[in-house]
Amino acid sequence: MFPNQHARVSGVPGVQFHCIPGNIRRCLLQRLMPERAARIPVMRIGGGNFAAAVHGLPWMGKAKAGMETEFLETRQGRRIAFHRTPGRSPGVVFLGGFSSDMEGTKALFLEDWARTAGQSFLRFDYSGHGQSSGEFVDGCIGDWADDAIEVIQSSTEGPQVMVGSSMGGWIALLVARALPKRVAGIVGIAAAPDFTEDLTWAELSPSERETLRTEGHIELPSDYSDEPYVFTWKLIEDGREHLVLRDPLVLDMPVRLLHGTADQDVRMSVPLALLDHARSPDMRLTLVKDSDHRFSAPENLALIQSTVESVIAVLKSER
């Protein structure tokens, strides 16, 4: 699709580094939005100007006019907001991250791709996120996995490819375990399975742990917002009931993991541990040099698209 330089990680099968040179930004922009390529001053893009131009892409911003938000009342009494795009099978479901919503860059990019490609697509907000009901601090991994399971069961048909970003990668694994006949493939983007235990709890100081236990919550700074992350004791305890890296994890489907080497939130040991732990006939990890946890630069989005397309192609070849 575009020039790549590959270097295999010594001793780790199935892992590649993708080094994406800066001089391919022009061809990436032409690929992602050919109808506007001629009108964008690509050659002058760089640094902040490049970021400003990215925000002009057609898939950025809020949902397109005319698209109605639908709502699902779950068995637990939660009201889940979602958008679905009709199209071919297998469908694609986007699972967002911790404290994220369905209006994010990756979700809208994939929705635009699905509409253009004629592929069925679903994005939604977990309870306590975005337009869905509830308070964020009242939620936990089990609740959000249940939200995903219910909206997938009620609003999609046939096999689905889960595309999980950060915490959404953990949710994707829980959905696959709960709905093995519906989940046909997984694409994890900076996936963070078991993060409440291995990344949050493990990195808290003794005093912070005590605060969490006694006060029921703790606030930690966020690199993505002026508002701090709020971690609750309920989140930690519930997370321990849904860990996926301790017990056997069978994924009888194509699985693709994408991870940036500059990810400061979910270190590279996490996808490597998942690759080593899971049992799958077709599982691959791609490490992208210098990409961070957001994984939302144009070259990252192009790689997400091509990865989803490759999983769909595998599924079609198996029919």
> What per-residue confidence (pLDDT) applies to 17?
46
pLDDT of residue 123: 98
Three-state DSSP string of the chain: CCCCEEEECCCCCCEEEEECCHHHHHHHHHHHCCCCHHHCCHHHCCCHHHHHHHCCCCCCCCCCCCCCCEEEECCCCCEEEEEEECCEEEEEEEECCCCCCCCCHHHHHHHHHHHHHCEEEEEECCCCCCCCCCCHHHCCHHHHHHHHHHHHHHHCCCCEEEEEECHHHHHHHHHHHHCCCCEEEEEEECCCCCHHHHHHHHHCCHHHHHHHHHHCEEEECCCCCCCCEEEEHHHHHHHHCCCCCCCCCECCCEEEEEEECCCCCCCCHHHHHHHHHCECCEEEEEEECCCCCCCCCHHHHHHHHHHHHHHHHHHHHCC
Q: Judge contact between 120 and 189, C-beta under 8 A.
A: no
Nearest 5°: phi and psi at 100? Answer: -105, 170
Distance CA 108, CA 119 (A): 14
- With a cut of 70, list the residues of the chain below it in pLDDT: 1-66
- The pTM of this model reads 0.81
99 contacts 174 by C-beta, under 8 angstroms:
no
Fold of domain 69-317: Rossmann fold (3.40.50)
Q: Where are the domains of the chain?
A: 69-317
Give residue 6's pLDDT: 36
Q: What is the pLDDT of residue 225?
A: 76
Q: What is the pLDDT of residue 221?
A: 85
The pLDDT value recorded for residue 22 is 37
